[in-house]
């Protein structure tokens, strides 16, 4: 619609936008700029916080490994704790979050006598190393070698040598098997592994000409013909019953190789 003002002038168009609308538009633009600035500030603060946390965890000395804070458990009688600590000490000063515990465990497993290992962080500066040691269960005679005299190889239940000594340790059975006969050695170790502690303590020596002819000599001079490693729990029960029976008093040989038909003499 055209408005006429009269006089000589031509028609005058009304303003397209009122001053009120202009003010609203300006306020909205200002609000958008304020929101954008706040987002920038918040993003910058968040980035700074993440950077600070990352520096604290991975670069600062606040959480570094200190050798004096390392605890080793389960070393047993074979594992040299100083060798375990030496493997750990190579990572002294490394922040705990950056420490490769899996790689460190692999290094600990290389220490002689270690069968299993678990490494966990002990915040803020320590480590806990839990070991399963390869404890010797048998002493096997060895001839002189490399300039050393005859001695005894100490074997764990897996047949792994965990040490060598000049004389058989007291309380450890001496094992006699044919050289290189792994099946006979495995049969002996399987039997020893299953014996209860009280019976194992009585075993002075074990011999096996084959895997099916395991014989034990007890410390009181009694001979036990065990046969193979099959049915060891039943043989243990039968031997215990026979030795406790008054009817077998004075017997020097107990044959439990056929546990359902045992023989004493």
Domain boundaries, the chain: 19-59, 62-133, 138-264
Q: Is the pLDDT of residue 54 over 60?
A: no
Q: Determine the Cα–Cα distance for residues 99 and 145; give it in Å rounded to an integer.
A: 42
- Residue 40's pLDDT is 74
200 near 192, Cβ under 8 Å? yes
Query: Same CATH fold, 138-264 and 62-133?
Result: no
Which of the four pLDDT bands, split at 50, 70 and 90, describes residue 211?
A: very high
pLDDT of residue 9: 54
The pLDDT value given to residue 19:
67
Residue 203: DSSP 8-state: E
- Mean per-residue pLDDT, 250-254: 96
CB atoms under 10 Å from CB of 167, counted, come to 8
- Can you give the pLDDT at residue 262? 96
What whole-number distance in Å separates Cα of residue 38 and Cα of residue 12?
A: 45
Residues 15-33 have a mean pLDDT of: 69
Residue 148 has pLDDT above 80, yes or no: no
Name the least confident of 49-53, 152-156, 166-170, 260-264: 49-53
Residue 147 pLDDT exceeds 60: yes
Binned at pLDDT 50, 70 and 90, residue 34 comes out as confident
Are 159 and 138 contacting, i.e. CB atoms less than 8 angstroms apart? no
What's the whole-number mean pLDDT along residues 103-107?
96
Assigned fold of 138-264: Rossmann fold (3.40.50)
CATH number for the domain formed by residue range(s) 62-133:
3.10.20.310
Query: What Å distances lie between residue 173 and 111, 178, 203, 207, CA to CA?
Result: 25, 16, 6, 10
Cα(9)–Cα(96) distance, integer angstroms: 87
CA atoms of 252 and 265, how far apart (whole Å): 6
CA distance 130 to 119: 7
């Amino acid at each position: 619609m055209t408005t006429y003002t009269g006089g000589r002038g031509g028609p005058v168009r009304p303003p397209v936008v009122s001053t009120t609308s202009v003010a609203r538009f300006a306020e909205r633009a200002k609000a958008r700029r304020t929101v954008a600035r706040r987002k920038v500030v918040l993003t910058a603060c968040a980035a700074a916080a993440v950077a600070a946390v990352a520096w604290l965890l991975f670069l600062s000395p606040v959480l570094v490994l200190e050798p004096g804070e390392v605890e080793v458990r389960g070393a047993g009688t074979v594992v040299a704790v100083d060798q375990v600590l030496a493997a750990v000490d190579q990572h002294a000063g490394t922040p705990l979050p950056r420490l490769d515990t899996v790689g460190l465990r692999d290094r600990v497993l290389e220490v002689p006598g270690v069968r299993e290992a678990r490494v966990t962080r002990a915040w803020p500066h320590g480590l806990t190393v839990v070991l399963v040691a390869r404890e010797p269960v048998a002493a096997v005679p060895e001839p002189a070698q490399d300039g050393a005299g005859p001695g005894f190889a100490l074997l764990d239940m897996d047949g792994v040598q965990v040490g060598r000594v000049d004389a058989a340790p007291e309380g450890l059975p001496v094992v006699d098997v044919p050289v290189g006969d792994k099946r006979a050695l495995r049969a002996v170790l399987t039997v020893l592994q299953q014996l209860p502690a009280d019976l194992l303590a009585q075993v002075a020596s074990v011999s096996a000409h084959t895997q099916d002819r395991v014989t034990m000599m007890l410390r009181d001079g009694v001979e036990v013909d065990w046969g193979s490693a099959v049915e060891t729990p039943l043989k243990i029960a039968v031997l215990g019953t026979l030795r406790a029976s008054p009817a077998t008093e004075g017997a020097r040989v107990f044959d439990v190789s056929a546990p359902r038909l045992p023989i004493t003499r």
